[in-house]
Amino acid sequence: MIKKTNFKQTSFSIILILFSIQLVNAVEIRTNVDRNPVNINESFQLTFTANESPDEEPDFKPLNKNFEILSNKKSSNSSWINGKSTKSIQWVLNVMAKNTGDIVIPAIFFGDDVSESIVLSVTKSNASGQNDQQNELFLEVEATPSKVYVQSQVLYTLKFYFSVQIAQASLTEPEMADALVEKLGEDKNYKTNVNGIAYMVTERKYAIFPQKSGKLTIEPLILTADVVSQSAPRFNGFFRQQMTKTKRVTSKAITLDVQAAPGDFTGKHWIPAEQVYIEESWSGDINNMKIGEPLTRTISLLAKGTTVAQLPELHNEADIPQLKSYPDQPVLKEKKQADGLIALREEKIAYIPSKAGSFTLPEIKVPWFNTQTKKMQVAAIPAKKITVVAAAEGQTEPTPTNTEPRLEEKNTETVKTVETIANPFWMWLAIFFASVWLITLFFLVKKPKQQIDDIAENSTELKIKDVVKVLKKACQEDDKSATKEALLAWGEIKYNQHSLSSIANQCGAELKDEIEGLNQRLYASQSESWQGENLFKAFIAENKAKDKDTVCTDELEPLYKV
């Protein structure tokens, strides 16, 4: 019994001794803040100081419940005073409180070592968005107009005022449910005076397009800035440390009254805008179009205060069998200005007539809603009359059918042409034109050769580009007849050849095979299918390989997009 008592006493003594040794060896870790109380929208420094290396690195996760950790730095300092070595290790955190009131900064564990806990008082800040002259920095926001139509433009302006030096700052973007938001241009910086205090101002603008009617709210913006402290630095010298504190300010929320499109708007596409303008241009004379030769029409629609996605298709498919149209991919652009967006839609259409006569293209109308006058308006291009003339005497008009003239027919036409010119009247007329041509040639010879070559090359280049667009469209649609007409137009410009077989003889093996294959299909049964993809690929490959070719293949999109 005595032995058991002695054993218990001995064990207790050993535990007590070990615990005492642990207390003696525990690292002291002090906790302090640079000020108390603090503002909820201002950062403060939280410092943990150890007199020697603790058991492990600290775990700061318990702080995340009531505080936001903005930065974390560790430093150490050793010194030798009166023959005694001292060491100090610091963890300096830049933090911001999430709530107001008396908040406990909890004990932080450094392995087996632990810091002390302290109580911090967090106070409320001044009301957001107010121009209080005591504020070092604040935000102002404005949205105009506040009462708008769905999908119309709202100009949202932010102004950031500050009277202190700022090391860096970050700002959230405007957020609004069911809306498109676009930043407009670069920020503006200027000086102003508010209640006798000089401020620097950074101004930023956005265009907002609500996509839904009803009451919609633009959420407050939050600015977080590192403000340079005006207090004296901790030490002097060349390596003077710049002290900062982080501040956070919030703008006011703005609610918009978004109305649906008015019932009296009768347009097919809802286009709310400040201004809308439409125009057209042609690559040649529409009163003197030639059979088989393409002419390009460019239609441009310009709108201020709307997005390019709201602009409608402009080309009307004219029901004119003798006038085939081949629209190109539209060009869509947006320009961001300080007063809003400007949207552009541009369409190019190539027209190829197959018969002489006069034809009328229908009127193009674009109804839109003027957000300034609150009325519907119409931008329009009036109906356009074009005139197609027959081919000049001695030239063969392109055949609109799927079959080429037989060799015997071509020879007959040639004989008839010669016999016609042999007539005395036509003979003198031919002599007259020959004389004019010789006089023109005389003056052209006086021009620098390079200039003449450039003019001819540019003219040919434009024609070939138009023809290639038509060829691409025909191949995409697997249209044998249209592909043939485009190849005939290309061959006439490129090689002065007027039949598929003669054009094929001027081309490389791959393109030659494709053209001859097309020629055979044209004579075959109409029900036999044909695909133009391989022909267009061979055409592009053919022209890429020729250095002097004028077809600019890098401007062409793939025939079939992936």
Q: What is the DSSP letter of 338?
A: T
With a CB cutoff of 8 Å and minimum separation 6, the contacts of 430 are 421
**Whole-angstrom distance, CA of residue 444 vs CA of residue 448:** 8
Q: What is the predicted pLDDT for the residue at 18?
A: 43
Q: Report d(CA 391, CA 413) in Å as an integer.
A: 14
For the chain, what's the residue count?
562
Residues 414 and 422: beta-carbon distance below 8 Å: no
Beta pairing class for 375-381 and 340-353: unpaired
Contacting residues for 359 by C-beta, under 8 A, at least 6 apart: 318, 320, 322, 323, 353, 385, 386, 388
For residues 300 and 345, is the Cβ–Cβ distance under 8 A?
A: yes
Contacts of 267 (CB under 8 A, 6+ apart): 366, 367, 368, 369, 376
Q: How many CB atoms lie within 10 A of CB 528?
A: 10
374 φ/ψ sector (left φ>0, alpha ψ -120 to 50, else beta): left
Contacts of 518 (CB under 8 A, 6+ apart): 480, 483, 484, 487, 500, 530, 535
Handedness of CA 439, 445, 448, 453 (dihedral sign): positive
Class of the domain covering 2-123: mainly beta
Q: At what angle do helices 480-495 and 509-523 cross, to 10 degrees?
A: 130
- H-assigned helices in 227-297: none
Residues of the chain with pLDDT under 50: 1-5, 11-24, 127-133, 234-239, 394-430, 436-437, 440-456, 547-562
Question: Judging by DSSP bridges, how do beta strands 384-389 and 289-290 pair with one another?
Answer: parallel
Domains 2-123 and 278-389 share a fold: yes
pLDDT of residue 501: 79
Q: What does the pLDDT read at residue 460? A: 61
Cis peptide before 37 (omega within 30 of 0): yes
Distance of CA 272 to the CA centre of its chain: 21
Instruction: Tell me which architecture the domain covering 278-389 has in CATH.
Output: Sandwich (2.60)
Handedness of CA 270, 271, 274, 277 (dihedral sign): negative
DSSP label of 61: G
SS3 108: coil
Q: How far apart are the first and last CA of the chain?
A: 94
- The identity of residue 430, as a single letter, is A
Element (H, E) at 213: none
What is the pLDDT at residue 128?
44
Predicted local confidence at residue 80, as pLDDT:
65
Q: What is the DSSP letter of 322?
A: T
Over residues 103-146, the pLDDT tens digits come to 999 999 988 888 888 999 888 865 444 444 458 899 999 999 99
Report the candidate in 63, 99, 35 with the shortest Cα–Cα distance to residue 245: 35
pLDDT score of 52: 83
pLDDT at 356: 92
For residue 71, the cross-strand partners are 94
Question: Which pLDDT score, from 0 to 100, does residue 231 have?
Answer: 58
| Choices 3.80.10.10, 3.30.70.2470, 2.40.30.30, 2.60.40.10: CATH for 137-231+242-259 | 2.60.40.10
Task: Write the DSSP symbol of residue 16.
Answer: H
User: Domain extents for the chain?
Assistant: 2-123, 137-231+242-259, 278-389, 447-555
DSSP single-letter state for residue 42: B
3-class DSSP assignment, residue 93? strand
Q: How far apart are CA 296 and CA 181, in angstroms?
A: 36
What is the C-alpha to C-alpha distance for residues 399 and 356, in angstroms, rounded to an integer?
13
Question: What does the pLDDT read at residue 524?
Answer: 60
